[in-house]
Amino acid sequence: MPPLRVLIVDDSVVVRKLLSEALASSAEVQVAGTASSGSIALAKIPQVNPDLITLDIEMPGMNGIQTLTEIRKQYPKLPVIMFSTLTERGAAITLEALALGASDYMTKPTNSESLAGAMEQVRRELIVKITSLAGSHSRPRSVSSPRSLGAKKKERQRIEILAIGTSTGGPNALAEIVPQLPEDFPVPVVVVQHMPPVFTRMLADRLNAQSFLTVQEAEAGHTLEPGHVWIARGDYHLTLAHKGSTVTLNLNQDPPENFCRPAVDVLFRSAAEVYGASTLGVVMTGMGSDGARGAAHIGEAGGQILVQDEASSVVWGMPGAVVNAGLADKICALQEIGQEVIRRVNVSRMQGAVAGNF
């Protein structure tokens, strides 16, 4: 298979050089060209025919958002990775870029890091993202078949918690699902989205403005209650714990799992320990396999697992790992997940009410 061709767009000659040298270490990736501005990038795309574009957000003249908008008009399926700064402004613009169709993002190395350290960070993270995004872009999508694990029997168990895990493509997936949940949604919601600090708070604020439920970044000690969605704080694992008759949120900086902190496995494992068979887990688009081991814990406890299908996922790594392990109770297109969650929660509560009358 020929190497994936990447067009690097950044107004900084230092960044263009750093990225080019980092990508040169991979046999799977080839730098097809560089551009110092958005207008030059748009002119170069038909010339170099890239499989993926890395795009700086803040550039003079045509900035990254404007360039992305034009790319999406002309090349709607071409993967684009945005480069931003780890600041509130960078986080806000990155979320806007993702909403406009960017495939993924990376934060630029800080000035305090050595050049060698910066290159190693780029090499480690960027090559994986490129091969996952551009590789899946070049392959035909398949439609997955659900593997049932006695879903009808499980639906009789009253659902008390909704736990969601996602990564690449997750902000848009969450923006599809969370606003569908009604104001009277009867169970609390906890979410792990792989994102750094600042970004998770900005994501929570953005979803809160779009949703009937209150969405906020998780804080240690908060009591779980219906009507609220808590998003794991960047660089902290999110767990649940009994405190008397209530359940509270806990945060920790234990070692990363699956190279992630927060990790979906940590949250799912904790939800299974606290809520057992009353747990409904949802695994959506994302690279890697985070969530698969946690889904196994939920399944072993008698809970239910929904996963996003391959066709609607930006990357089918995380949901695919759950399906391949035989842990999915149902596979849904993204636009179906919200209603399926609502249906299962309502059915579980109606059946519980009926059982209570006998």
Residues designated as active site? 167, 194, 290
CA distance 324 to 77: 26
* End-to-end Cα, the chain, rounded Å: 63
Secondary structure of 83-120 in HEC code, one letter for each residue: EECCCHHHHHHHHHHHHCCCCEEEECCCCCCCHHHHHH
Residue 286 pairs with which residues in a beta bridge? 316
Q: Quick one: which of 299, 304, 305, 298 has its CA closest to 274?
A: 298
Query: Is 249 within 8 Å of 279 (Cβ atoms)?
Result: no
What angle (nearest 5°) sits at the alpha carbon of residue 328, between those of residues 324 and 333?
A: 100
Q: Which residues contact 201 (CB under 8 A, 6 or more apart)?
A: 91, 217, 233, 234
DSSP 62: S
Bond from prior residue into 262 cis (ω within 30 degrees of 0): yes
Q: Which two tokens stand for residue 319?
A: 């949901």
Q: Which two tokens stand for residue 263?
A: 């990790």
